[in-house]
Amino acid sequence: MSSKWGFSTRAVHAGHPEGMEGSTVIPVFQTAAFSFSSSEEAVKRFELGEGYVYSRYGNPTVRSVEEKVASLEGAEDAVLFGSGMSAILVSILSLMKSGDHLISEESIYGGTYTLFNEILPRYGIEVSFVDSLDKSQLEGALKPNTKVLFLESPANPLLKCLPLEKLARFAKGKGIISVVDSTFATPYFQNPLQWGCDLVVHSATKFLGGHGDLTAGVVAGPRSLLDPMRKLFHRHLGTVISPWEAFLLGRGICTLSLRMERSAHNAMLISQWLSLREEVSAVYYPGLKSFPQYEIARSQMRGFGGVLAFELKGGYRAAEKFQDSLKLISRVASLGDVQTLVTHPASSSHRMLSPEERKKRGISDGLVRLSVGIEDCQDLFSDIEQALGALS
């Protein structure tokens, strides 16, 4: 697939379905293992990696979707996983060992925070959390054993945007590998590798799949980093995705550009409208000129995404009442569906942080996150308005 083709063309056509010439869609190779025509062929597959052996080692359906994602990220290759968290875990394990040090942006998904704060230290990996917008904090966190800089942009749940080119240059200057979680942006709106970052990860469960019917993760980047990850850690930890879920993911990606355009359009209109509501004290969306990192987002993103957050003046009780009053919008601890979803971060995605940690990161009890879908925007306005009306 030529890199000169447009994004939507590559989203549909990239990823050749091996072994099914003439198939217009990626076939599902729903098999645990692959037979050998001879002992000689078995040797070639095991020793030379020519062909498929076992679906934990590789599968044609999975491989086709990996090629599709790699094309969209402008990467040499990509590796699919069973979840976004397994993609992050294996990325870190493949780059680090006991005694190494990781610097992480402090504004990250709660599950990633738990991995870094509670699990990695058990295995001798030290982690420091910093505000990546503060150069003094970055410089102060550096150690001789620092190996990885982990970033998330836009970040969950306040959409904090980081200057990827600047941070990638900082990491390279220190001999550190930079890893970016770009789930909220998707490859349609942002390509971290373009700005010099080493690896990009996605929870493909979200916008890439786009329909709330699968769990998946993906890492894209150079083969020099992905091949060891795939052949040792991914294969032997068994963090693989099933062929069926890979098929669903590939099908979802085909409409990614259409869905993201509509979600971002709706999110912008809702953000602007919420900014005028008296029940709301703050709105967080990268497309608003009032957003703290608006200029950063505008400089490195082609659009601002389908996720926004807003602060209700009434705190926890207001957030609870607002969610319970919604009729069209679903209360779900996820994002990226075709339907609009509402989440209360303090009691769901970031509940594992202490109240002090949440306060430090600006995640208050009155914060509500919306993952905006592709519905008619007027219907979303009506539902949100009646839920806000219930607060009075």
Looking at this protein, which amino acid is placed at residue 45?
R
User: What's the angle, vertex CA 188, arms to CA 182 and CA 189, rounded to 5?
Assistant: 65
Q: Report how many helices (DSSP H) and strands (DSSP E) the chain contains, helices first.
A: 16, 12
Q: Which of 44, 54, 56, 277 is catalytic?
A: 56
DSSP state of 105: E
Among candidates 204, 174, 191, which has minimal Cα distance to 102? 174
Torsion over CA: 139, 86, 60, 205 (sign): negative
Q: Which of 77, 100, 181, 365 is catalytic?
A: 181
DSSP state of 119: I
Question: Would you state the pLDDT for residue 36?
Answer: 87
Among candidates 360, 355, 350, which has minimal Cα distance to 111? 350
Residue 113 is among the residues annotated as catalytic for this protein: no
Question: Would you state the pLDDT for residue 210?
Answer: 98
Residue 181 is among the residues annotated as catalytic for this protein: yes
Q: What is the pLDDT along the chain (392 residues), one digit of tens a residue?
A: 667 899 999 999 998 765 566 788 889 999 999 898 888 787 778 776 778 999 999 999 999 999 999 999 999 999 999 999 999 999 999 999 999 999 999 999 999 999 999 999 999 999 999 999 999 999 999 999 999 999 999 999 999 999 999 999 999 999 999 999 999 999 999 999 999 999 999 999 999 999 999 999 999 999 999 999 999 999 999 999 999 999 999 999 999 999 999 999 999 999 999 999 999 999 999 999 999 999 999 999 999 999 999 999 999 999 999 999 999 999 999 999 999 999 999 887 777 777 888 888 888 899 999 999 999 999 999 999 999 999 98
Please give the Cα distance from 27 to 45 (Å, whole number): 22
Q: Tokens representing 126?
A: 């030290």
Please give the Cα distance from 166 to 169 (Å, whole number): 5
Q: Which of 52, 57, 63, 109 is catalytic?
A: 109
Domains of the chain plus CATH, in order, are 7-253 (3.40.640.10), 256-389 (3.90.1150.10)
Please give the Cα distance from 188 to 301 (Å, whole number): 9
Question: Would you state the pLDDT for residue 18?
Answer: 58
Q: Which of 45, 63, 206, 358 is catalytic?
A: 206
Residues paired with 128 in a beta bridge: 103
Q: Left (φ > 0), alpha (ψ -120 to 50) or beta: where does 323 sit?
A: alpha
User: pTM for this structure?
Assistant: 0.95
Q: Rounded to whole angstroms, what are the CA distances from 36 to 40, 49, 82, 235, 292? A: 9, 13, 27, 20, 58
Residue 77 is among the residues annotated as catalytic for this protein: no
For 338, residues 6+ apart whose C-beta sits below 8 A from its C-beta are: 210, 211, 212, 259, 373, 374
Task: Provide the CB-side half-sphere exposure for 306 (13 A, CA).
Answer: 31
For 358, residues 6+ apart whose C-beta sits below 8 A from its C-beta are: 346, 350, 364
Residue 223 is among the residues annotated as catalytic for this protein: no
